[in-house]
Amino acid sequence: MSLPTIDYSIKDIENLVAQTIDGNIKNIEMTRLTAPGENYLSIVLKVDFLVEKNGKFSTINAVAKRLPMGNVANEFHKFAMRSEILWYSELLPVLIEFGNEFGIDTSYFPKYLGSRLGNGKDEEPILLLQNLIPEGYRNVDRLVGFDLETTKAILRSLAAFHALPIIMKFKKPESFKIVKDFLDKNSPIALKPPPPPVENEKPIIDQAMQIMFDKIFAIPSCQKYRLNIEKVSKNIPMRFVSSGTEPWKTIGHSDFWINNLMIKSENVKDPMVKIVDFQLSNYTSYASDVIFFLLTSVRDDVQRQSLDELFKYYYDQLTTITSKANVPELKLSYSTYLEEIKTLAPSEKIRHALFFCNTIFEKKGNVPDVLTGEGNMDQHMKYMVEHMNERQKEKMSLIIELSVEKGWI
C-alpha cells in the first residue's frame, strides 16, 4: 500500500531542538518513517537536520512523533502523546541519574532531543528523539519474532529497566516519589473506553474480544483446550490495571512487543537493545511485561523449546541486579516469582497477548492508514478479528497450548 501524499511539516520544529543541536540549522528534510499497521498511537516521521558549525556541515538524524492527522486523534491519542513527552522530558532524567549513580544499565533508552506539549489549538504536541536506524538499530520482522540470543538480550535490558524503581524505593525514596507520582498522574488506568457508536452496545474493543474467542473456539487445534479457554474468555473486558505486590511493583512499559524494540546485531559481540514508545507506562508487576513479551514477540520454535529457560533467565537477571543493592527487603525466591507469573498470566496477560496477535500477525500492506483518516481504528481492529488469517490463528493456538502446559489456565 503506497503512503498518501500528506503535508507532514511541523511548525517551528527548529525551536524544539535549540538546546540539543549545536550549530545553525540550514535545512530540514521530513518524511514518513513507518508504514500503516506498524504503529497505531502516533505518526512517526524521519527528520534530518542539516547543521553548520564553524564552516563544517553535519546531519542530525531524528525521529518526530506527532498526533494522528485531523479529527482522527481522540482523547486516548492525546493522553498517550502527552504522557510520552513528559516521560522523556521529566521522568527519564531521574531514571538515568539513578542508574548512573548505582551502576544500573540505562543504555536501552533512546536519546531525547526536544518536545512541546502544544496548546490544543494551532500548536500541536511534538516529541523528537534520536533516529536509531543510522546507528545500526532495526526492528525485527514482527511476522517472525526474536531468536533466543536476541530474546535474552532484551530480557537483560527489561530486567535493568524494572530494577531501577524497585531499588530506588529504598536507596533514594525522594526520587522514587517523583517516579510514583508521575505514574499515578499519567497512567492510562484512569482512562475510560470511548462510548460505543450505538447506545447500550458494548464498546467495540469488547465486541472484538468476544468475536476473537468465538474464532479461537473454532480452531481445530484448540478444541481439546475448550474448557481452559473458557476460563480466559469469561473476563472479556481488557483494561489497563495495576497488579503485583510490593516491594516488587515497578514501572511497567505496558506495550512491550516486537515493534517497540530496536536491535543492533551487526558488528557487535551481543545484540544491543533500545526500548521505545513509553506512552502507556504504569505502576504494576514486573511480570506484566515479561509475560506479554514472551507470548507475543518470540519465534515459535524458541517458545516451544526455551520458554521455561527464558522466564528463569529474566529472574536471574533481575535478582542479580537487585542483590547488588544490599537491601534486605529485596529477596525474591524463584517460587514466589513463578507464582506471580502464574497469577498474572490468566487474569490479564493471556487475553491481552491473544488479542494482540491480530495486530502483530496482520499481513503487511493489508492495513488502512488509520492515523491519517483512512478508516476507523476501532472498526479496523474489529475487522481484523472478523477476518483472522491463518498465521494469527496459529500463534493464538500456540499461546493457548503453552498456557495450558504451564498450568496457567
Average pLDDT score over residue span 297-311: 98
The three three-digit cell numbers of residue 318, written as one number: 533481575
Look at the block and give the residue holding cell 457508536. 197
The three three-digit cell numbers of residue 62, written as one number: 531524528
| pLDDT tens readout for residues 314-329 | 999 999 999 999 999 9
Instruction: Round the CA-based radius of gyration of the chain to a whole number and report it.
Output: 21
| pLDDT tens readout for residues 339-360 | 999 999 988 899 999 999 999 9
Using an 8 Å Cβ cutoff, are 192 and 347 in contact? no
d(CA 236, CA 367): 25
| pLDDT tens readout for residues 210-241 | 999 999 999 999 999 999 999 888 765 555 66
- Whether residue 31 is contained in a domain is answered as no
- Banded model confidence at residue 122, pLDDT cuts 50, 70, 90: confident
The three three-digit cell numbers of residue 225, written as one number: 483446550
d(CA 128, CA 13): 9
DSSP 298: B
d(CA 334, CA 121): 52
Q: Looking at per-residue confidence, does 404 or 192 come out higher? A: 404
Whether the predicted pLDDT of 148 surpasses 60: yes
The residue type at 316: D
- Whether residue 49 is contained in a domain is answered as no
Whether the predicted pLDDT of 91 surpasses 90: yes
- Banded model confidence at residue 373, pLDDT cuts 50, 70, 90: confident
Write phi, then psi, for 272 (nearest 5 degrees): -105, 145
* pLDDT number for residue 82: 94
- Whether residue 47 is contained in a domain is answered as no
Q: Number of structural domains, the chain?
A: 1
Using an 8 Å Cβ cutoff, are 136 and 264 in contact? yes
* pLDDT number for residue 3: 47
User: Which of 391, 291, 319 minimizes the C-alpha distance to 160?
Assistant: 319
- Whether residue 122 is contained in a domain is answered as no
- Whether residue 134 is contained in a domain is answered as no
- Whether residue 132 is contained in a domain is answered as no
- Banded model confidence at residue 190, pLDDT cuts 50, 70, 90: low
d(CA 156, CA 104): 11
- Whether residue 36 is contained in a domain is answered as no
Domain span at residue 267 reads: 75-108+143-405
| pLDDT tens readout for residues 22-56 | 999 999 999 999 888 788 889 999 999 999 999 99
* pLDDT number for residue 199: 57
Q: Identify the CATH number of the domain in which residue 329 sits.
A: 3.90.1200
The residue type at 10: I
User: Which of 393, 54, 69 minimizes the C-alpha distance to 219?
Assistant: 393
- Whether residue 156 is contained in a domain is answered as yes
